[in-house]
Amino acid sequence: MRRRTFLALTTATAAAATVASPAAAAPTDFAALRARWAAALTGSDVIEPADPAYQAALTRLDAAVVSSLTKLDRSAGRKAAFTDQPLSADASVANSYVRLEQLATAWATPGSANYRSAALLADVLAALESLNTLIYRAGVAEFGNWWSWEIGATRPLASTMVLLYDEIPAEARARYCAAIDHFVPDPYWMFPPARKALSTGANRVDLCQAIIVRALVTDDEAKLVHARDGLSDTWQYVTAGDGFYRDGSFVQHTWVAYTGTYGHVLLNGIGKLLALLAGSPWEVTDPKRQILFDSVAATYLPVVHDLRMMDFVRGRAVSRWNATDHDDGYTAAEAILRLANGVDPALAAHWRSAVAGWLARATFGNMLSGATIPRVALVKSLSGVSPAAEPPGHTLFASMDRAVHRRRGWAYAISMASTRIAHYEAGNGENNCGFHTGSGMTYLYDGDNGQYADAFWPTVDRYRLPGITVDTLPLPAKAGGEWGAARPLSATWVGGSTLGGYAAIGQDLEAPSSPMRARKSWFCLDEYVVALGAGITGTSGHAVETVVENRNLHADGVSGLVVDGAAVVPALGDTAALPRARWAHLEGVGGYVFPHATAVRAKREERTGSWRDINTGGTTTPVTRRYLTLWLDHGVDPVDASYSYLLAPGASLARTQQIARSCSVRILSNSSDAQAVSASGLTLANFWAPTRVGSLIAETPLSVIIRRRGSDHEIALSDPTQRADTIRLRLLLPGARVLTASDTVTTRRTNAGLDITVSTGGTAGTSHNLRIRA
């Protein structure tokens, strides 16, 4: 395949500063960028008509045109551009312009049945005039959601003007640009005039895109430069609020982990704009662009597994019937492939290999299904690239209360909440019942590529999400408030420590809209994850439960459950109370081991729901899925209840039995003061309060991992509260001496061992390391 113009991306440039000694801009420079943007939208310079993948993309484009034209209102005195988009609704304004961009794209795409169609052009021009006359013009006040006016409409309108530049009269172009200028006078700001706020993150990128493309329509260099310079803020590291954090976190709406939607919108948008401006007088030259490139490995790759964008960073999007984890994975993959054309070849090769691996292992969906022509070209650029396996390791995103543990064939993701990060986000009628997703919900990503994409969210019992400890007190829709308002009031100890691919993760759980509290830990090892809970106390008058598993068996799954050697709940509708369970195995999923005989409940059921149940814009069509659930009942208003279990993803029935007979894990403590385990030379501990566990005496709350190799000990410590200036640990190990240590670590040798002090102020919950010998 020949090199594609629209794929080109060169190094970025300083946003907050003008380009050094730029060449004087000329009308031809603007014309060249209009042509480049049009090519990026249509793929006009990449289409290979004989290729079936491009043919399929063209067929889809033409079918979409037919569908839109059937709704086009051509009547005299029409009050809308499309019959199903009444302009009394703000979303319809944006939707109308999105459709017009789609029609303009088909008109400008070689190979489309609508290429250069005079009739289609007339329809689009008339609809543009109608929208400008009826609603979208200078002087009109916004109503409803600001996004519809400032982003949802501006971007497609600007792109439509570029696509049809020579066909739209200059006077009309000026009016349409005036409308954009009215709603977005400055892309650094968003919201209506009465409540303007600084734009951030993905919103800033979207606003800058609208103005940069709009500037191409009127050859407005000042607007273009101002919007270009506004991009720089989006790839700086932040320590609070929206944007990228040094630990790889990405936050939007101040309180919400949002790598999987707003995050990839940002990456995709910046990638397109860097490619647009590359080699022009307005090329981006910010030397801090490396932060953006570093984010691919630090922020995006860890939260995609076999092309699935992990749901715990998708926010409200999990409730959208037409946007699965695969869809957001496709968008992230597209953005990464586009960026790969402008980085060091070795880095680009690593990214492409990762994406190729995702595509090779994705069995539930197909990235080419529904793909645009530009996306088809990006996927085809992977021809001959060797697919990479999912890498093992652990990533703790302390700044957004998320953790991902990876081993061969599976990944285990943990979703938490604190005073820093919301339990969940509702808004725009979306995700109204997601209130328990931050209560320690766990996601097992394995060979079941459709586990969460296959109608999981509208059918799962929202009070029995896997991993959570939950007060079954019924909650109303949008409990705790919208837009990230549903946050814990006092829970700060959320996070943990990491060392060499192992992790001690903990959550001081303050339940949403409930007085229930619990201390939860996950100790992430090679073959399994050890889950401990303690201090589980409730006073709402309702039962409190911990959900060990709630697996989507899809429409007709029959995976068998064996508990202590006996088949349990074999038929739909079956339930069982197992008073002294020691182990369980779910066919095709893995094993569950209870170190102490535990009262476990099991249930196999069919559940029916609709996307409308969780999203006011969802379909009302009922969907039914089967579930296998394991949970622990702590009773009504428990006091200081606890639990312990091991999850061994992918373990066979025989291996599960073997682990139960001779488990290498020893539980050292499981109390509201400390939770700790040891296994195979590792000691992992979460100290909620000053206390002693074996040879460890914590003088402050902290998390610690110690790995012993012969006489050497590697140690990692952190302050998960992110509030302490120092943390202190006494290690009772006579003769211990320090070999190496982070600059933040100071030690004092004593007769009993070693006193360790770590300066943690401003380190945002990251781990601090030292190596000792004894």
Q: Which residues are catalytic?
A: 253, 262, 316
Q: Which of 284, 337, 276 is nearest to 6 (CA)?
A: 276
Characterise 657 by phi-psi region: left (phi > 0), alpha (psi -120 to 50), beta (else).
Answer: alpha
The answer to whether 616 and 427 have CB atoms below 8 angstroms apart is: no
Residue type, 346: A
Please give the Cα distance from 581 to 645 (Å, whole number).
11
Q: Which of 260, 290, 265 is nearest to 205 (CA)?
A: 265
Q: Which of 636, 531, 542, 653 is nearest to 589 (CA)?
A: 653
Please give the Cα distance from 593 to 527 (Å, whole number).
12
b/e sequence 321-348, b meaning 16+ C-beta within 10 Å: bebbbbbbbbbbbbbbbbbbbbbeeeeb
Burial of 741 (0-12, 13-18, 19+ CB in 10 A): middle
Q: Which of 234, 239, 243 is nearest to 204 (CA)?
A: 234
The answer to whether 634 and 641 have CB atoms below 8 angstroms apart is: yes
Report DSSP state, residue 313.
G
Please give the Cα distance from 651 to 587 (Å, whole number).
9
Q: Which of 71, 47, 74, 46 is nearest to 59 (CA)?
A: 47
Please give the Cα distance from 632 to 548 (Å, whole number).
7
Please give the Cα distance from 446 to 444 (Å, whole number).
6
Tokens of 616: 């006011």
Report DSSP state, residue 664.
-
The answer to whether 445 and 411 have CB atoms below 8 angstroms apart is: yes
Please give the Cα distance from 358 to 361 (Å, whole number).
5
C-alpha to C-alpha distances, 262 to 234, 243, 641, 771, nearest whole angstrom: 12, 10, 39, 39
Please give the Cα distance from 696 to 716 (Å, whole number).
13
Please give the Cα distance from 50 to 40 (Å, whole number).
20
Tokens of 37: 């943007």
